[in-house]
């Protein structure tokens, strides 16, 4: 990598960088169709883009990246595409794990992993265990993830504690709900980026993104490169995050 590209661009203030970035990688299929390729080629290219973005976040000092790889609704896609994605996840873990580990990436998979192919589940568990103590960057991949499903399972777990007499309902507060989400130990995202011109949350991190800044771009995910990411960060640094209060600046 060219030394200049690996450094934080001079017009970005390091103290105002988002700590945690969430991404909805949209537009793989449309990008592929535009190139005269099958949709799956878009996912393959999208995976390369994600790898590049992860490296860029690490180079530029961003501590957490969370990517929406497969939603609870994505099972509705044609079987061949779902099968392809499952196989792609598995191949990517197999191919990239050693290098990510060397680079200090801590990997977590969030979502209901239980309906995924067993061999994929095993690779996911193995990659999480192997990288659990790494500290360069946290990389969370949401697979079979749905924000409503996540909040529902948290409620169910809390209700069970109450039913068993282990929890007083008066002690149920926002903190307790947060602790029962898949993202327990992950800070809330500061910035969400969604590509391809779609302007929706699509059931992603609904609880966690109450105060997240949102950036939409028309660029299709496979073309979201360092310079597109740079633009997103420039926009973010111009925002005035108030968290419901008045006049708090990003650096506050």
31 is in an annotated binding site: yes
Distances (CA, A) of 128 to 5, 61, 162, 186: 29, 22, 31, 14
What is the nearest approach in angstroms of ligand FPP to the Cβ of residue 232?
17
Q: What's the CA gap between 65 and 35, in Å, rounded?
A: 28
Torsion-angle region of residue 77: left (phi > 0), alpha (psi -120 to 50) or beta? beta
**Using the rule CB under 6 A, which residue among 21, 28, 140, 224 binds ligand FPP?**
28
**Does 146 help bind ligand FPP (rule: CB under 6 A)?**
no
26 is an interface residue for ligand FPP by CB under 6 A: yes
Contacts with ligand FPP, 190-229, as mask; x by CB under 6 A:
------x---------------------------------
In sequence order, what are the residues at sequence separation of 6 or more whose Cβ sits closer than 8 angstroms to the Cβ of residue 29?
A: 39, 42
CA–CA distance, 234 with 56 (Å, rounded to integer): 15
Question: Would you state the structure tokens that stand for residue 207, as one six-digit string?
Answer: 């609880």
Cβ neighbours around 76 below 10 Å, total: 8
Count the neighbouring beta carbons within 10 Å of the beta carbon of residue 208: 22
Q: Is 74 a catalytic residue?
A: yes
Alpha-helix residue ranges (DSSP H) falling in the chain: 3-6, 28-34, 39-60, 79-102, 118-131, 147-163, 174-179, 226-238
- Report residue 235 CA to chain centroid gap: 19
Instruction: Give how many residues touch ligand FPP by CB under 6 A.
Output: 19
Decide if 175 is catalytic. Answer: no
Set 59, 74, 112, 134: catalytic member: 74
The only residue of 74, 202, 231, 237 in contact with ligand FPP, by rule CB under 6 A: 74
One of 17, 22, 27, 183 touching ligand FPP (CB under 6 A) = 27
The residue (of 139 and 236) whose beta carbon lies closer to ligand FPP is 139
Residue 111 makes contact with ligand FPP by CB under 6 A: no
Residues 30-59 that bind ligand FPP (CB under 6 A): 30, 43, 46-47, 50
Among 23, 64, 69, 137, binds ligand FPP (CB under 6 A): 69
Site stretch for ligand FPP (CB under 6 A), options 26-34, 146-154, 155-163, 205-213: 26-34
Is 197 annotated among the ligand-binding residues?
Answer: no
- Catalytic positions are 26, 74
Q: Which residues are annotated as a binding site for Mg(2+)?
A: 26, 213
């Amino acid at each position: 990598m060219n030394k200049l590209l690996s450094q934080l661009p001079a017009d970005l203030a390091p103290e105002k960088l988002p700590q945690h970035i969430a991404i909805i990688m949209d537009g793989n299929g449309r990008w592929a169709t535009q190139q005269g390729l099958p949709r799956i080629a878009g996912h393959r290219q999208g995976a390369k883009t994600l790898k590049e973005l992860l490296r860029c976040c690490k180079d530029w000092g961003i501590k957490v990246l969370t990517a929406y790889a497969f939603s609870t609704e994505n099972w509705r896609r044609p079987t061949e595409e779902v099968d392809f994605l499952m196989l792609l996840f598995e191949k990517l873990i197999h191919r990239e794990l050693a290098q990510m580990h060397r680079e200090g990436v801590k990997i977590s998979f969030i979502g209901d992993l239980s309906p995924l192919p067993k061999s994929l589940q095993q690779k996911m568990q193995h990659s999480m265990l192997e990288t659990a103590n790494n500290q360069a960057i946290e990389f969370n991949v949401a697979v079979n993830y749905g924000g409503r499903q996540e909040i529902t399972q948290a409620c169910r777990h809390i209700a069970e504690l109450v039913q068993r007499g282990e929890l007083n309902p008066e002690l149920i507060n926002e903190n307790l709900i947060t602790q029962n989400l898949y993202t327990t130990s992950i800070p809330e995202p500061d910035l969400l980026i969604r590509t391809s011109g779609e302007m929706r949350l699509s059931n992603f991190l609904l609880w966690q993104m109450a105060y997240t800044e949102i950036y939409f771009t028309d660029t299709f995910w496979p073309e979201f490169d360092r310079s597109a990411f740079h633009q997103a960060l420039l926009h973010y640094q111009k925002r005035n995050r108030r968290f419901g209060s008045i006049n708090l600046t990003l650096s506050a």
